[in-house]
């Protein structure tokens, strides 16, 4: 009986904790931001070709529909015109799925195993497809979520113009 009561108390305290700390909630309905059936290699190659022609870099967001932080980041960008416009003006963007349905193992290996930092994780490629940077998104948080200021600072620091030697003298 004591064991049963302990389990019940533990369950209620877990529910109470989850309700108190629900700043980033699991989606109540199925979210389809990432496509597990997408050909990530083809998507990246197309983005690299476009970036090369436009003098941009490629911003890859690796995550999955199962990841509340991935969804929260995506919603933050969509809801913040400053971020959305800057990202679209300076990068070609690719969403790469990582989930039980499709772990994109070959792509993850070619990107330097970015998932080691958790999800979402961001990878910056140059216009030739070379990995320039892998960003742990936790460092872009402030308080209880991703910070517009931190994300913008990160994006500004990895544009094609920002990494040109002549712009850093």
Give 147-163 pLDDT, tens digit per residue: 999 999 999 999 999 99
Domain boundaries defined on the chain: 24-168
Mean pLDDT of 106-124: 98
Q: What distances in angstroms separate CA 7 from CA 14, 17, 140, one per listed residue?
A: 10, 15, 37
Residue 134 has pLDDT above 80, yes or no: yes
Spell 5-30 as b/e; 16+ CB within 10 A means b.
eeeeeeeeeeeeeeeeeeeeeeeeee
- How is the beta sheet containing 121-125 ordered, strand by strand? 91-97, 57-63, 121-125, 131-136
Nearest to 124 by CA among 164, 166, 154, 165: 154
29-64 pLDDT, tens digit per residue, is: 688 999 999 999 999 999 999 999 999 999 999 999
Q: Region 112-141: what's the mean pLDDT?
A: 98
Q: Where do we find the tokens 């003098």?
A: 55
Give the right CATH number for 24-168 from 3.30.70.260, 3.40.30.10, 3.40.50.150, 1.10.645.10: 3.40.30.10
């Amino acid at each position: 009986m004591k064991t049963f009561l302990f389990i019940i108390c533990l369950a209620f305290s877990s529910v109470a904790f989850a309700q108190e700390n629900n700043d980033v909630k699991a989606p109540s309905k199925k979210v389809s931001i990432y496509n597990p059936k997408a050909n990530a290699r083809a998507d990246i190659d197309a983005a690299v070709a476009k970036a090369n022609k436009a003098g941009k870099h490629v911003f890859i967001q690796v995550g999955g529909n199962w990841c509340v932080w991935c969804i929260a980041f995506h919603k933050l960008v969509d809801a913040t015109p400053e971020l959305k416009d800057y990202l679209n003006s300076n990068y070609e963007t690719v969403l790469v799925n990582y989930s039980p349905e499709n772990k994109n193992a070959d792509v993850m290996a070619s990107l330097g195993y970015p998932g080691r930092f958790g999800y979402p994780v961001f990878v910056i490629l140059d216009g030739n497809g070379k990995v320039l940077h892998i960003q742990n998104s936790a460092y872009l948080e402030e308080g209880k979520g991703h910070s517009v200021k931190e994300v913008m600072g990160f994006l500004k620091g990895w544009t094609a113009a920002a990494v040109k030697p002549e712009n850093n003298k």
